[in-house]
Structure 1
């Protein structure tokens, strides 16, 4: 552009030259674009609701807002088959993890990965079976370094002191065969942690010496060595 040395003229109140006209403001783009026709009302949407300066105030003095429960539950559905992984990004990268997933995880569907900070990664699987297979492994190795998994949960905060979770196998030795039922075994396993699955031999009742159940426990938490099992007397309801 050639400089002429001429000063650009401004409007009588300063600002942009008169030929520029009114400039769009950011608030213009935040306004609802749906126009209300005569005799019709705008669809329900938070942007269409009138602003009110009066708001509920929490005990801490902060404004209190109640989010739409249906929208929250709809969003939760997207994380049904999600895991949280944690690795050391000093030694591995997201590209390393994606390569490992393609080459060795044997996934039946896709998986989306998103770094969350503090070494945490969100894994959103398309297939429940893929999620379950990785979760049961508890950890895997990427470029020679450990990537540890835990189940995603609502309100997960990377800055909070998160409890480390691991999967372990527990045994019920000398187990009576009439108790070899998946529902019974998973119920009993709650005494040690969160029950996940039975092993193949236990499901098939192919080993009569012990039953084995996989459970999710907190690292460092104590485990009971014995539990007391009770059931109800048929026809009487008495526990014995």
Structure 2
């Protein structure tokens, strides 16, 4: 029998994921005297001076160009898709306090933090559950200083407010069978990227109304109605 959860603590909450936990990171150098040179990427079986990872230079509109394939670019983006940013209003606390706070969150996957500037922190997460759980908080308090959790994108500009934010959606009159998490998260996909449901929804304690939080681009048109069910039967 499922037990009740307290969403405010996030202690038992998790989210079904297709990605699962990404493998342990091997990017951090433990020995800072060891430097990584391009030769380290060379295939020892290849002829001398060639590398499958280092591309020949190209040219675009008369200027030097470095080309990557679409597959390579997609792979590079995949590695940073669970990345967030933290925004401090006036400035960040000492980094040892920031790192101590993040260690206290007990992420299930690997994580890294680094400074973008004096007021912005880059938060790289490896697990979708950790990403959803942290983004859903919207803000956290670190050593008495408030940090807003915001979406990081490839075009992230610290000087501008992001368009993608966590939003709560109400689903009034949702039939009871659809209160299962897999059904709710599938419905959430029509609204954005699902992050979590609230405790009354999870516990079916408020059957007249389900609530789900998703990340959504607020520049998109307002969405008030969606079809739920099969092609032949639904509402």
Q: TM-score, normalised by structure 1?
A: 0.60
Taking the aligned partners of 1:203 and 1:165, their CA distance within structure 2 comes to 25
Q: 1:109 to 1:191 in 2, by over 3 A?
A: closer
Match of 1:90 in 2: 91
- Write the deviation string for residues 92-137 of structure 1: whole angstroms up to 9, x where unpaired: 23233112223x4233454311111262221123444333321221
What is the match of residue 198 of structure 2?
Answer: 199
**Aligned equivalents of 2:191 and 2:39: distance in 1?**
54
Q: How far did 1:83 drift?
A: 1.8
DSSP 3-state at the match of 2:206? coil
Alpha-carbon offset, residue 65 of structure 1: 4.1
Name 1:19's counterpart in structure 2.
Answer: none
Task: Note the 1:154-233 alignment, pairs <5 A.
Answer: 155-158=154-157, 161-182=160-181, 184-186=183-185, 188-189=187-188, 193-217=192-216, 226-227=224-225, 229=227, 231=229, 232-233=231-232
Which residue does the alignment assign to 2:14? none
Partner of 2:23: none
Partners of 2:128 and 2:188 lie apart in 1 by: 22
Report how far residue 173 of structure 1 moved. Answer: 2.2
CA–CA separation in structure 2 for the residues paired with 1:206 and 1:217? 26
Shift in alpha-carbon separation, 1:114–1:156, aligned structure 2, 3 A: farther
Give the superposed CA RMSD. Answer: 4.1
Counterpart of 2:9? none
Contact 1:79 1:152 in 2 (8 A): no
Q: Which residue of 1 aligns with 2:50?
A: 43
Q: Which string of whole-angstrom CA distances, capped at 9 and with x for unpartnered residues, describes residues 116-162 of structure 1?
A: 12622211234443333212212101122221223433x23335634
Q: Which has the higher contact order (CA 8 A, sep 6+)?
A: 2
Is 1:81 paired with 2:82? yes
Matches within 5 A, 1:18-57: 40=47, 42-45=49-52, 49=56, 55-57=59-61
Q: Tell me the alpha carbon deviations over residues 154-199 of structure 1, each in whole angstroms, 9 at most, x when there is no partner.
A: x233356342543232222232224435455445446654432333
Q: Which residue of 2 aligns with 1:143?
A: 143
- Give structure 1 stretches of 5+ with no counterpart: 1-29, 35-39
Residues of 2 paired with 1:174 and 1:126: CA distance?
36
Unmatched tracts of structure 2, length 5 or more: 1-36
Q: Give, in whole Å, the separation in 1 of the partners of 2:90 and 2:99.
A: 14
Tell me how far apart the structure 2 counterparts of residues 48 and 124 of structure 1 sit (CA, whole Å).
27
Alignment partners' CA distance in 2, 1:68 and 1:220? 30
